[in-house]
Structure 1
């Protein structure tokens, strides 16, 4: 671990990791040499040992509880799945998105439009592009500020109790 270095969490979620081709390797190559602490999760179908020895600032695991990790992070790098995006925004974290499929391209586009993140093409992103994008996210305060603004907005939204009350109201009417 590098003392006082930013903490980066990199995940491709629980469904898309094995379908990502060499995306793990390209992103890892882009982040590994940066002066950061990197936590990368690969899911249950991939053995972290497949990535070989790593420097002390890189830890690769099959799974971590995202809600336990995010409060300690500075940036999230992900595929742009709903859980990863909402987790990052709920913690006010800027995000680097490399969407693979499903709703991910739309999520990535919207995060970029809102100024809370950057997106790269998962099929063509190079380690140098990953490195440059993450460096920008760490260096430009507006990404963090926009992510924090969105965190405040999300926190102000009504929660599950409100949704349950609305459902009960609909059920009574019918």
Structure 2
């Protein structure tokens, strides 16, 4: 079986797809990706062929490709990402390239993620069965319609498809959800819960020597990912909040930043550019995160409570799901995401971070809820089930209804 994966050029979009791609490859299937040309090395580093498709841009260098984003607030950027970039600009360039690629490479099934829409258009044009791998908590059609309905309708019409209903077939065949279905605000007949695996490349699979010699006190880990990790007020606020607290604090700030910029720190604070999270999480008692979906799901597997500081994109939605699951608390940046959070959600400050860390470490309810979720994840079917679903989808070309 030939499987074509399609993704926007961002690490947070790619990483949740890689475990399934590896599982398919290890089962003897032929795998290729399609993404922006400049993103190909990131995909090839994991051992996969990558076809250049669509506009050449990188999410990590967003302002270079789209200068208009320089003057957007993070809140404006959130709406722009899905409505203007993913469903419009990126999809318009991606769809025709994918149609041509599918005609030449002849995949048996196309696998996209929640925010790559060119693959949906291409597959529908060619009558090719398509599946979605979750890289976010599921966004119901009723939520997506006002955000991207007109854009997708235009694309459908441009490629000879009936414009409306624009989104009814977006998840027609198969949706592979990471984690238990109770994590989702809504489910689908074709939604299957899968336990995925963490990826650590051999070159990254090391830990700093000091990690095994930490004092016997709670360990708090903070990371803001790879896209918005330079949001200026977050790391300094965390450092100030926990400067004199009896905890071990670990910050990973990204390879695009220098730990020295934060100045001298007390012995209980460690700042690194990168540590593999799958190796670091077992040492941690609390995770401070920007609440990207993939990062949250990785933390769930280790039963960690979360202090959630959403920055942009779908992160406020993810944070609300974490709150509903009872595994953490939210702090918002001043004046941001007021349409998502009520006044009970505190704004970012030294005192707010310190108070939340105290509560999350001392109130065992959060840890019990997180560990229950961890146990549910461990009980899920593994990636071999997802491989079987894709094989049957390619053969039968009909929706894979859960429970049948």
Q: Does the TM-score normalized on the shorter chain lie above 0.5?
A: yes
- 1:79 matched to 2:290? The reply is yes
Quick one: which of 386, 394, 401 aligns to 1:163?
386
CA drift at 1:60: 0.2
Work out whether 1:128 is the aligned partner of 2:340.
no
Match of 1:102 among 307, 313, 333: 313
Moved more, 91-100 or 156-165: 156-165
Number of residue equivalences: 173
Does residue 259 of structure 2 align to residue 57 of structure 1?
Answer: no
Superposed structure 1 runs of 4+ greater than 3 Å apart: none
Distance 2:260 2:234 in 1: 16
Aligned with residue 154 of structure 1, among 348, 364, 377: 377
Which of 353, 356, 360 is the aligned partner of 1:137?
360
Residue number among 213, 217, 220 corresponding to 1:5 in the alignment: 217
Greater relative contact order, per chain length (Cα 8 Å cut-off, separation 6+): 1
Aligned partner of 1:119 in structure 2 is 330
- The aligned counterpart of 2:68 is none
How far residue 84 of structure 1 moved from its aligned partner, in angstroms, is: 2.0
Tell me the alpha carbon deviations over residues 44-96 of structure 1, each in whole angstroms, 9 at most, x when there is no partner: 11100000000000000000000000001000001011222112111001010
Partner of 1:92: 303
TM-score norm. by structure 2 comes to: 0.42
- Provide the rounded CA distance (Å) in 2 between the counterparts of 1:29 and 1:87: 27
CA RMSD of superposed structures (Å): 1.2
1:17 matched to 2:240? The reply is: no
Gaps of at least 5 residues in structure 2 are 1-212, 335-346, 398-404
Q: For structure 1, which runs of at least 5 residues remain unmatched after alignment? A: none
